[in-house]
Structure 1
Amino acid sequence: MAPSVAQIPEAEAATIIVPAKQTSSETKPKVRRIIDEEGGKTTASYPNYLPVWDHGEKYPPLEPFAHVDHGKDADPTFKDLLIEGSKVTKLTPSTGSEVTGVQLSKLTQAGKDQLALLVAQRKVVAFRDQDFADLSIQEALDFGGYFGRHHIHPTSGSPEGYPEIHLVHRNGSNSEFEGFLANRNSSVAWHSDVTYEQQPPGTTFLYILDTPEVGGDTAFVNQVEAYNRLSPALKERLHGLKALHSGIEQAEFSKGRNGVVRREPVTNEHPLIRTHPATGEKALFVNGGFTRSIVGLKKEESEALLGFLLAHIARGIDYQARVRWAPKTVVVWDNRVTAHSAIVDWATGERRHLARITPQAERPYETPYVPEAEPAKAQ
């Protein structure tokens, strides 16, 4: 489990093109398939979603595109989304909701627009009893593509023939995870997805395929509320600063495991404080996964300030929410204003298998800082 708004007409937005892969014909590329490693037979509920890593898949650099935020002009009454019979339960007062009685795959265009707005407002929303996993992969992608251009992850496994799907998969013992924990006390790793891209993801979809009976939850933190908790003086200082986000370390980690690197890694500078186009809210836009330094500050200054901000996000238990996975659950979050972490707390050997659809959004931008009004003094 990151990372000024351009607008284009609706008709043009529907024809977003994913870059074609480039393959080398010099030698037959190595292909790793989980189903082969499981002896050709698998207990996976959705074997068509088992990860494949094709070393022959190579993609050109991502080109900028004009993004339309569908939540910007959505009906705030949510009448096409929260239909009769639906139920909304807040996970916490500030962050996260759970919805039943709504079938995402059946939403109208207006319902999808309202979905984008609801998720922007609540930051993360879990939809129960969904048919997403039972759709064809292409149908799921067609749904997600409404919210932006599909991102193809540079190093993750994907279903064969569908590189736009990012897969999270762990089954049985996992030496990679054990190695990750060897020098750590916790599996928590707060991050927003692929924020090193020039246009990181926005409205993001993650749906469950197999899950342990207990454990494997995902935690989310509200970066808008994290910003709101800062003092006015610090908010004012942070505005105008940028941070460096890097995908180089992720690519090098994959290479070190003889994994794939589909696209050459990039770095990008993004504002420390970004503005959401639909809500106008300001949010901290730093994360421990990909933010490396604050531009223009000396090393010690950058490390101290960035360290404070990341610790502030991580310990904000009163603006975090924990989503428990259950069969047929789809979790939708706004990657622009949240960070998240998987909670790897089960040791039963059960499979945890999820698929992510990751539409890219606008290039991060900030609006000017407006000083907060001072409280009236007693006379």
Structure 2
Amino acid sequence: MAPPNSETLAQDIEKIDLKQLAREKGRYLVYPETKYPEIEEFVHKDPGHRADPKLASLYDNAEKIFDLTPQIGTEIHGLQLNKLTDKQKDDLALLVAERGVVFFRKQDINVHEAIKLGEYYGPLHIHNTFGHPPELPPIHVVYFDTQTPKQYFNYRRAGDAWHSDVSYEKQPPGLTILKIDLLPGEAGGDTMWASGYSAYDRLSPAMQKFVEGLEAVHTGQMQVDEAISAGHAVRRETWEATHPVVRVHPVTGWKSLYVQPGFTKHIVGMSRRESEAILGFLNNHIIAGHNFQVRFKWEEDSVAVWDNRVTCHNAMFDYLDVGRRHGYRVTPQAEKPYYDANGKSKHEADIAKAQAKQKQKQ
């Protein structure tokens, strides 16, 4: 049989429907032996710098925009992500940077449109070890069902799964897009996000001063070990990076705590016991930080857009005896994390904003 025509193959790829594929095949991922060169450093130009501080392109065109909690999470009704103008994309970058995560429901965007949207915000990350849909290596698929081995989930506390995606890269993701299109039923499979801004703000001044300037090692070793055990390829040779414990967002200028249980493993310059004590405290601070977390109950075809630089998140695996959950993530990379002593806390920014409004009224 002759090989498929490349033009026909390209057309087939353009028509791929991951939701339908998940319904028909369940686990449809492929694990090519493809190796990639190390990710080259690049200068990230955040579209949020071009945004209108009033976010008029969003507020003037949406049916409804409202906050889910005071510190993190905003929901937008009446806008389709696949129809955003460039100005709306810029304003969305600023809104996401400020609010941490923004949710959209009833979204028509397909995987190819999601890729194009993601490319607007930065070069797309290809995961070092995970599988992907056929011919779509930048797509990170979320799929778990009743056949998923449960031993990994049964012997850990749910709070240990808090993470910022692939923070072990030298230039980890910024604005990130996740669409969930299949759910296990009427309940189950929620996702939580925590604000790194507020996690920093809720440390005492003494602890803030202590952690600023510290650096921590982030590693993807666990994912590499899992891939090797499963016989899957490890695509690159580097899966470890050192980042500041407190980083500053390039658009907001706000300080954010940048550690999490998932990938942050050691604080530079400390003994093992010292590092475990400090990271244990900071991780528990995030896990128990219910006053700076938001929990989102998905509907099919909902999309979350979050800033991976200033949030961490945690999916709830409470449905593995109930049904399947499927979606996909597009993961643009951003700048190398940095600390700036001139950065401000979100709390300081909120006070300054309130004072400015008060002066306008006088």
Q: How does 1:330-369 map to 2 (within 5 A)?
A: 330-368=303-341
- Give secondary structure in 1 for the equivalent of 2:328: strand
Give me the whole-angstrom Cα distance separating, in 1, the residues matched to 2:103 and 2:254: 22
- Give secondary structure in 2 for the equivalent of 1:313: helix
- State the match for 1:266 in structure 2: 239
Q: How does 1:133-144 map to 2 (within 5 A)?
A: 135=110, 137-144=111-118
- Give secondary structure in 1 for the equivalent of 2:285: helix
Distance change in 2, residues 1:347/1:150 (3 Å): closer
User: Would you say the 8 A contact 1:53–1:156 is kept in 2?
Assistant: no
Match among 102, 112, 125 for residue 151 of structure 1 = 125
Match among 98, 101, 104 for residue 127 of structure 1 = 104
Distance change in 2, residues 1:355/1:98 (3 Å): same
- Give secondary structure in 2 for the equivalent of 1:81: helix
- Give secondary structure in 2 for the equivalent of 1:121: helix
- State the match for 1:322 in structure 2: 295
Amino acid at match of 2:165: D
Identity within the alignment, %: 44
Match among 158, 167, 181 for residue 195 of structure 1 = 167
User: Aligned pair 1:282/2:255, yes or no?
Assistant: yes
User: Would you say the 8 A contact 2:31–2:130 is kept in 1?
Assistant: no
Give me the whole-angstrom Cα distance separating, in 2, the residues matched to 1:62 and 1:187: 30
Q: Normalising to structure 1: TM-score of the pair?
A: 0.81
Distance change in 2, residues 1:155/1:51 (3 Å): farther
- State the match for 1:57 in structure 2: 34
Give me the whole-angstrom Cα distance separating, in 2, the residues matched to 1:352 and 1:365: 35
Q: Deviations over 1:111-155 (max 9, x none)?
A: 1000000011110111112111xx3x3332111100001000112
User: Would you say the 8 A contact 2:21–2:28 is kept in 1?
Assistant: no
Deviation (angstroms), 1:259: 3.0
User: Would you say the 8 A contact 2:160–2:262 is kept in 1?
Assistant: no
Deviation (angstroms), 1:157: 2.0
User: Would you say the 8 A contact 2:253–2:344 is kept in 1?
Assistant: no
Match among 87, 100, 103 for residue 64 of structure 2 = 87
Give me the whole-angstrom Cα distance separating, in 1, the residues matched to 2:24 and 2:131: 13
Deviation (angstroms), 1:44: 4.9
Relative to structure 2, which stretch is displaced further, 54-63 or 236-245? 54-63
Q: How does 1:39-50 map to 2 (within 5 A)?
A: 44=21
Give me the whole-angstrom Cα distance separating, in 1, the residues matched to 2:200 and 2:28: 37
Give me the whole-angstrom Cα distance separating, in 2, the residues matched to 1:43 and 1:118: 32
Q: CA RMSD in A?
A: 2.1
Which stretches of structure 1, 4 residues or more, deviate above 4 A after TM superposition?
42-50, 369-373
Q: Normalising to structure 2: TM-score of the pair?
A: 0.85
Amino acid at match of 1:173: Q
Distance change in 2, residues 1:56/1:273 (3 Å): same
- Give secondary structure in 1 for the equivalent of 2:136: coil
- State the match for 2:285 in structure 1: 312
Deviation (angstroms), 1:299: 1.3
Amino acid at match of 1:158: H
User: Would you say the 8 A contact 2:254–2:343 is kept in 1?
Assistant: no
Match among 77, 97, 120 for residue 54 of structure 2 = 77
Amino acid at match of 1:266: W
User: Aligned pair 1:113/2:90, yes or no?
Assistant: yes
Give me the whole-angstrom Cα distance separating, in 1, the residues matched to 2:153 and 2:343: 43
- State the match for 1:172 in structure 2: 146
Q: How many corresponding residue pairs?
A: 327
What residue ranges of structure 1 are gaps of 5+ in the alignment?
1-41, 374-379
Amino acid at match of 2:241: N
Amino acid at match of 2:37: P
What residue ranges of structure 2 are gaps of 5+ in the alignment?
1-18, 349-362
Amino acid at match of 1:144: G
- State the match for 1:212 in structure 2: 184
